[in-house]
Structure 1
Amino acid sequence: MEQQEYATGAARTAGGTSDGRTGGAGRSTTGAVLAVREPARGPGPATAAGADAPQEPSPGLPSQPSSGSRSGSRSESCSESCSEPPSGLSPDPGLLRLARWFAEAGPGAADDLCAASFGLYPARHFGAPAAPSGPEVSWWHGPTAHTPAPLRTREPRTAPGLRRARRDAAALPVVLSGAKPGTPGRHRRPEHSRSAAAVVPQDRSGATTAAERRIAARLLLAHPLVTASGPHADGFPLIRRHRDWLTERFDTLLGYPLVVGPWHARLHKAGPGPGAVRRLEHPATGAPFTPGGYARLALALSLLVDAPEQLPLGALLTAMNAAEPAPADPADLAMAFAVLADWQVLTDVPADLADASAVLTVDRELARAVPAGPPALADGAADLVRRAAEAEPGTAVRRRLAESPAVLAADLPEDQRAWLRDHRHSGPAALADFLGLEAEHRAEGVALLDPAEELTDLALSGGGTAAQAALLLVERLVEEVRPLPGETTGADVPVPDALIDGVLGDIADEYGLPAGWRRDYLADRTALRRDALDLLHRMGLIATRPSGWLLRAPAARYAPAPDLLPTPGTGRHSRPAPRAGQPA
């Protein structure tokens, strides 16, 4: 373990394709962007995960340089501010630099920086499919996946887990899922044992193998860091069993390196680029991270990658203050430690961080597995976000398809738009088969759908006041501003703020009390508006521009089917009544 090098920026490696085993970045590579540092050799014990097990190499790591050359690099990179803190912990210079970028970033830019540097965001997809239709049909006027409002009321969704693979029902009884313990789900059979032997299927047919691979692939795309003892431990044996095949497919289709060790699997996702609306949230409360919270997280990681297995909380806090003496908000510190505990980098974290006598258990192997972006050679936060998202056109489009609800041609640069046009069916079909998704082709673009609503961190049809209000809001906005057939509007239509406020007020009055909506939302319409629009924005159904909000074409799939011959009236979209003698 102590001989293992780790990368603070393993998003890309030198050009070429991987060998299918070590998880090289393959087709996404444009140059070597790595920061390598040797863990400190101290008297602290090795982690339990790496004490006896052989270590598998990180993707694309160069051969280890001599200790002398590594020490020289360390001195040069630490010349700015890396002084040895009194606790004996030494911060990693790359992660310390990243912490400062977080502290200087705005909220949206900090979210983009987190996705680029850690790559731990989950996939996000629409759920219920619409009726089949040709690719020349617009989302504005095509079949919809609309569900009448009275049918939507239900209990809030549990934490998302991957319970099955689509289209492989016959093989599922012999394959355990990756769902969290205690959440059996609609599609799961009783699981009487969680031992490793129970995961080994008795039937090794081709259908069973395909189902296992699909479950493992979906689990990794939803949870890029899976451990043998974490909430998705049931799926870890499947990842181990099919790691060679998974490594090759993730590299070929998405350019994502996959590293599978004895006790954890790490899919190193590339950054989705600026404006991707991906953020970390508190694992218990769902509160979004602030730039200060991200900064505390990166600062703690910079010290934990070399920390001893048993570490007093007071020593860690002292080292953090010495490395970055700026005052920290206690709430930001609490959020950072909550996420580190959720990732299993830290265990035995006390509820009260003021208890300096508490002793933390550190998993250095997981701490080194968290960074995925390339901070070493980036000039700044914006440059890191750009570098992490670089890829050749085919890989870039496939990443968008795999990670985001819909890919609109208007959002793509010209080279990626041309690739999507030339591979309109074959490109999405390969990913749909790999991940068990369904392709929906429309005139504006393509969406890969997950009818099970498992391969997504957000579900518009989920329970809760904000989700229900958002769904009602988007369907009524579509009815108000949907372009008429023949109108050339593109993928976006402006939505006046006054219309949003008016429609949301009507919805709250009509549905609020009967549906049992939260009283704080009903009393504070501003908060309801903010959270409903935030959900629609993150799902890619609305966009924000300096001029205001824009309704996006995929939003129409959640509205009632358009009436192309409406009753004559005075509305903006009504047709005039026919004159006598004219056909209706």
Structure 2
Amino acid sequence: MEQQEYATGTTQVAGGTADGHTGEAGRNSTDAAVAVREARPDGPQGGRSAGSAAAPSPDPGLLRLAHWFAAADPGTADDLCTASFGLYPARHFGVCAEPAAGAGADADVSWWHGPTAHAPAVLRSREARPSRGPRRARRDAAALPVVLSGAKPGRPGKHRKPERSRAVAAPQDRSAAAERRIAARLLLAHPLVTASGPHADGFPLIRRHRDWLTERFATLLGYRLVVGPWHARLCKAGLGPGAARRLEHPVTGAPFTPAGYAQLALALALLVDAPERLPLDRLLAAMHEAAPALAAAPADRAMALAALADWQVLTDLPADPADPADPRARTAVLTVDRELARAVPAGPPALADDAADLIRRAAEAEPATAVRRLLAETPAVLAADLSEKQRAWLHRHRHTGPAALADFLGLEAELRAEGVALLDPADELTDLALPGAGTLAQATLLLVERLVEEVRPLPGEPAAGLDLPIPEVPIPDALIDGVLGDLADEYGLPAGWRRDYLADRTALRRDALDLLHRMGLITPAPRGTRPPGWLLRAPAARYAPAADLLPAPGSGRHSRPDAPDAPDAPAIPAPTAPRAEQRA
């Protein structure tokens, strides 16, 4: 399939096998279909000049999606973006536990008390790198001695699992395997790759191996891969409610608001049939005419247009399109790439009744596909989070399931009693890094180390109501404040932490907990819990020192005194049902 079918009146299923390949993942996949309207006589295929400045009419499915975004709360809007666009990157832990030999395959060891990836140094020296934005794929000079795309060859890359030597494998076979792995990792990290974008060096590899990649993504993950002459689009499925995969401004990193998402969907509704050259003021006027009720602040419109420019749907966008005083903003003429505009939606609401229904439909899949998607996209998969059928599949395929994905993507499988994590020791197949450089990353890592030491369960303690180890334990709210206070006093000024965080402990707490939540190391307590709070998850223990069964009382001046004999000391409860059922 050379181009994505959008204006042909057809309907496609996100996450199915639209290329005709069969496989386990292609059956019973999510039915969040791509809403496609029929070509109209005045559309781009019906004779309208590409250079015309006439205002396009909006796509009804995307216009409906825009209204859903505007009515959603921030968390639901993030989940709706994940379900409808599927442009999120994969996210994995990057540090392997020690000892390395044999530690990854011990499925009887708990994360709470098993090998750790703890680094005792407070000031962890790491090469600084941008915390957000695309990172160019690197090449292995030994595996790829010739760069056919005309780009400059890169330095030897460390982002792949080393190829195992096979006596029957010829050098050209090993080179093809390395190329396929680079292309697969690139698509999983950046689902929309263009021939002229920041990852153009990897685009020829995707084109060269598109048949193999299409079959593997469809079979293992139920993802549809569309490769055209100038772009490649991996249509990912949704991750369900509470996935916390938000879209951010490509320059500032500010998270999208529901109004920003609404403006993004509204702009796309017009751009899928827009002329190639479109004045900016005409686009803004058409957005207002199409949905007067969705009037938004200039910052929300600017954020939406910046995301479209980052995806190369729009070019020639002024630096600040929302500034009416900027003469360039008033006279700018945008170049519209309709092919990319049509490639952005992965599952507009053709079948869904509302936003919640779309989020649910986009995440639906048979157990094998659903678990493999979680393994490929999320830092860790805990058995307690899965449905009964998914948990049974993971138990039966504890070794073979993760191993197939690890080989496909160049990752390392870490099996534990609570679940499985696929690790990327190069720390490249992820949009967030922990450990990391900077005040927030250092404070967050120190915070999770001390939380684990304070509240981790005893060895062998089972979860109430589940024949599973304890997946998560509650964190006393006062403990978080006390630990952060101790850390700021002990390490803040000597470590050169940012003074705004040291002056505003509330902001430090908010951002540190947000990072831990996005990395899957903590999760909000189930609905109805009083008081609401956070739960510490078992994978967090991999960043803490080895368990000490006789710990000393806290000595920081913000810490509570040790009181083991207090009659009202709360016991450590455990969830009595899988997290997926609690959220429902």
Alignment partner of 1:238 is 2:205: yes
Q: Which amino acid aligns with 2:400?
A: S
Question: Is 1:316–2:283 an aligned residue pair?
Answer: yes
- SS of structure 2 residue aligned to 1:303: helix
How big is the shift at 1:336?
0.3
Task: Choose which of 548, 553, 557 in structure 2 pairs with 1:563.
Answer: 548
| Structure-2 separation of matches of 1:17 and 1:42 | 29
Choose from 483, 486, 503 the match for 1:503: 483
Residues 97-496 of structure 1 correspond to what in structure 2 (within 5 A)? 97-130=64-97, 131=99, 132-133=102-103, 134-154=106-126, 156-158=128-130, 159=133, 161=135, 163-164=137-138, 170-174=142-146, 187=158, 205-326=172-293, 327-353=295-321, 354=324, 355-489=329-463, 490-496=470-476
Does structure 1 retain, via aligned residues, the 8 Å contact 2:193–2:232? yes
Query: For the Cα contact (< 8 Å) 1:178–1:235, is it kept in 2?
Result: no
Q: What SS is found at the alignment partner of 2:420?
A: strand
TM-score (norm 2): 0.82
2:395 & 2:482 partners in 1: Cα distance?
40
Gaps of 5+ in 2: 160-169, 464-469, 555-560, 566-584
**Are residue 514 (structure 1) and residue 481 (structure 2) matched?**
no
Aligned to 1:135, the other structure's residue is in SS state coil
2:568 equivalent in structure 1: none
SS in 2 for 1:543: strand
Q: Point out the more displaced range, 450-459 or 481-490.
A: 481-490
User: What is the CA–CA distance in structure 1 between the aligned matches of 2:524 and 2:10, rounded to whole Å?
Assistant: 33
Contact 1:160–1:456 (CA under 8 A) maintained in structure 2: no
2:48 equivalent to 1:43: yes
Shift of 1:496: 0.8
For the Cα contact (< 8 Å) 1:162–1:177, is it kept in 2? no
Alpha-carbon shift at residue 515 of structure 1 (Å): 1.8
Superposition deviation, residue 29 in structure 1: 3.0
Aligned residue type for 1:373: G
Q: C-alpha displacement at 1:223, in angstroms?
A: 0.2
> Residues 184 and 309 from structure 1, CA distance in 2 versus in 1: closer, same or farther, beyond 3 angstroms?
farther
The 1:117–1:46 alpha-carbon spacing in structure 2 relative to 1, beyond 3 Å, is: farther
Query: How many angstroms does 1:369 deviate by?
Result: 0.2
In structure 2, relative to structure 1, the CA distance for the partners of 1:205 and 1:46 (3 Å cut) is farther
For the structure 1 residues 243 and 110, does the alpha-carbon distance in structure 2 shift closer, same or farther, using more than 3 Å as the test? same
Give the C-alpha shift of residue 38 in structure 1: 3.7
Of 55, 63, 75 in structure 2, the residue corresponding to residue 88 of structure 1 is 55
Cα–Cα, structure 1 residues 176 and 465, in superposed 2: closer, same or farther, change >3 Å?
A: farther
Within 1, Cα distance between the matches of 2:121 and 2:134? Answer: 23
Counterpart residue number, 2:509? 529
CA displacement at 1:367 relative to structure 2: 0.1
Q: CA deviation at 1:12?
A: 3.3
Q: Is the contact between residue 46 and residue 309 of structure 1 (CA under 8 Å) also seen in structure 2?
A: yes
How far does residue 464 in structure 1 lie from its aligned partner after superposition?
1.9
- Taking structure 1 as reference, are residues 87 and 478 closer, same or farther at Cα in structure 2, changes over 3 Å only? same
Task: Assess if the C-alpha contact under 8 Å between 2:147 and 2:153 holds in 1.
Answer: no
User: Does residue 549 in structure 1 map to residue 529 in structure 2?
Assistant: no
Whether the aligned pair in 2 keeps the contact of 1:11 and 1:374 (CA below 8 Å) is no
Q: Cα distance, 1:17 vs. partner?
A: 7.6
How far apart are the structure 2 equivalents of 1:444 and 1:169? 39
Shift of 1:519: 1.2
Does structure 2 retain, via aligned residues, the 8 Å contact 1:7–1:368? no
Q: Residue by residue, what CA displacement relative to the aligned partner does 1:3-47 show, whole Å, maximum 9, x if unpaired?
A: 96268974438x8784349x9982353658342224513433289
1:329 & 1:276 partners in 2: Cα distance? 27
Give the fraction of aligned pairs with identical amino acids, expressed as a percent: 74
Structure 2 CA distance for partners of 1:343 and 1:252, relative to 1, 3 Å: same
1: CA distance, partners of 2:518 / 2:206: 29
Q: Against the structure 1 CA distance between its residues 30 and 157, is the aligned structure 2 distance closer, same or farther, given a 3 Å change threshold?
A: closer
Aligned residues: 517
In the alignment, the residues of structure 2 paired with residue 314 and residue 568 of structure 1 have an alpha-carbon distance, to the nearest angstrom, of: 64
- Residue 84 of structure 2 aligns to a residue whose secondary structure is helix
Q: Secondary structure at the match of 1:259?
A: strand
Q: What's the TM-score, normalizing by structure 1?
A: 0.82
Contact (CA 8 Å) 1:161, 1:178: kept in 2 or not? no
CA-based RMSD: 3.1
